[in-house]
């Protein structure tokens, strides 16, 4: 089996694209789709074993992938990483700033270290990767960057540290798009809502119990798939988005647009798209489909 992408074959042939956080979840799915479309995918993350596994999957499917372990919160490490990748693989044509992480907690119980750790992971690390890819490669030949946000538009109760970071990344996306446009570099972002991904299995306690009920708060009355996020990322990287820059695409089934004052009707005709032949259904959702 191969990835059933909606995009034309060989769309990214001859291109080198970095995917941070490529060892699991949305990053893994996106890496698979890009490789299936002809890109050489460079997986970046902190855990070598996960990156190796995904690179092996892509190779089994006939794609090109390599990996490098790196803590993207470390400025010197990021500078060295990008330099090494360019020396080994040549120009970087695309960057998917997917790496991130957070934990559920009310603001009153988050200490400074925890708050700063999430900001460094979800905002500072993405900034460092984008800056170095621009300075060392894309400023010379152009390219496309896609940043990862979240549904933080009305605040992010229970994850205020992540909401602050993701909001910052939204503004960084706009600023970078404006400042770097002269070099032919486009910078956009995606903001997924509730997506069925392996990350859901990392939560415990009360939040874990809520996950199976999330679909009831989505107008489409379902949770999204990793493929639906990947398809948006691939589009923003593609020539079809050549005049789109500084934009954030919400992928949340319209969940971020309403309020509890408007009751949601029973779902009809809501079909999902899942082209990922190696998709993982989170344990917390098993039995809910």
> Closest Cα partner for 10 from 43, 36, 42?
36
pLDDT higher than threshold 70 for residue 289: no
Assigned token pair, 90: 């040549």
> Closest Cα partner for 168 from 117, 98, 131, 119?
119
Q: What is the pLDDT of residue 120?
A: 96
Element (H, E) at 212: none
pLDDT digits 0-9 by tens, 58-115: 999 999 999 999 999 999 999 999 999 999 999 999 999 999 988 889 999 999 999 9
Provide the β-strand partners of residue 271.
none
DSSP state of 101: -
Which of the four pLDDT bands, split at 50, 70 and 90, describes residue 33? very high
> Average pLDDT in the 273-289 region?
83
- Residue owning tokens 């790496």: 99
Q: What is the pTM of this model?
A: 0.94
Element (H, E) at 98: none
pLDDT higher than threshold 70 for residue 288: no
pLDDT digits 0-9 by tens, 159-191: 899 999 999 999 999 999 999 999 999 999 999
Assigned token pair, 115: 């708050």
Return the half-sphere exposure (C-beta side, CA atoms, 13 A cut-off) of residue 203.
Answer: 23
pLDDT higher than threshold 70 for residue 277: yes
> Average pLDDT in the 128-145 region?
98
Q: What percent of the chain has pLDDT over 90?
A: 80
Q: Are 250 and 193 in contact (CB under 8 A)?
A: yes
How far is it, in rounded angstroms, from Cα 123 to Cα 134? 16
Range scoring the smallest mean pLDDT among 22-26, 74-78, 101-105, 251-255: 101-105
> Average pLDDT in the 115-135 region?
97
CA distances in angstroms from 222 to 157, 195, 204, listed in the order given: 21, 9, 21
Which of the four pLDDT bands, split at 50, 70 and 90, describes residue 268? confident
Q: What is the pLDDT of residue 110?
A: 95
Range scoring the smallest mean pLDDT among 2-16, 103-117, 124-138, 211-225: 211-225
DSSP state of 222: S
pLDDT higher than threshold 90 for residue 284: no
Q: What is the pLDDT of residue 200?
A: 78
Question: Structural domains in the chain?
Answer: 16-270+278-285 (3.40.50.720)
> Average pLDDT in the 226-231 region?
98
Element (H, E) at 27: helix 25-36
Backbone φ and ψ for 218, nearest 5 degrees, come out as: -110, 130
pLDDT higher than threshold 80 for residue 201: no
Q: Which of 35-44, 198-207, 275-284 has the highest mean pLDDT?
A: 35-44
Q: What is the pLDDT of residue 285?
A: 85
What is the per-residue burial (b if ≥16 Cβ within 10 Å, else e) of 152-179? bbeebebbbbbbbbbbbbbebbbebbee
> Closest Cα partner for 180 from 225, 217, 147?
147
Ramachandran quadrant class, 184 (left: phi over 0; alpha: psi -120 to 50; beta: rest)? left
Q: What is the pLDDT of residue 39?
A: 98
């Amino acid at each position: 089996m191969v990835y059933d992408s909606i995009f034309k074959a060989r769309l990214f042939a001859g291109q080198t694209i970095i995917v941070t956080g490529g060892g699991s979840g949305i990053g893994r799915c996106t890496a698979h789709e890009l490789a299936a479309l002809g890109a050489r995918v460079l997986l970046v993350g902190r855990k070598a074993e996960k990156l190796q596994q995904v690179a092996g999957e892509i190779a089994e499917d006939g794609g090109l992938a390599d990996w490098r372990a790196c803590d993207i919160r470390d400025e010197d490490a990021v500078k060295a990483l990008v330099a090494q990748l360019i020396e080994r693989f040549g120009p970087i044509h695309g960057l998917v700033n997917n790496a991130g992480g957070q934990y559920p907690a009310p603001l009153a119980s988050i200490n400074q270290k925890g708050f700063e750790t999430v900001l460094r992971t979800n905002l500072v690390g993405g900034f460092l990767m984008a800056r170095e890819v621009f300075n060392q490669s894309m400023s010379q030949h152009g390219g496309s960057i896609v940043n990862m946000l979240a549904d933080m538009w009305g605040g992010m109760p229970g994850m205020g540290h992540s909401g602050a970071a993701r909001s910052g990344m939204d503004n960084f996306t706009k600023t970078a798009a404006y400042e770097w446009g002269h070099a032919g570099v486009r910078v956009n972002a995606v903001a997924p809502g509730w997506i069925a991904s392996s990350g859901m299995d990392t939560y415990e306690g009360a939040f874990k119990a809520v996950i199976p009920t999330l679909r009831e708060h989505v107008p489409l009355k379902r949770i999204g798939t990793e493929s639906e996020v990947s398809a948006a990322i691939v589009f923003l990287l593609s020539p079809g988005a050549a005049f789109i820059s500084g934009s954030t695409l919400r992928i949340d089934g319209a969940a971020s647009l309403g309020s509890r004052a408007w009751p949601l009707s029973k779902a009809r005709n809501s079909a999902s798209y899942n082209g990922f032949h190696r998709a993982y259904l989170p344990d917390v959702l098993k039995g809910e489909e």
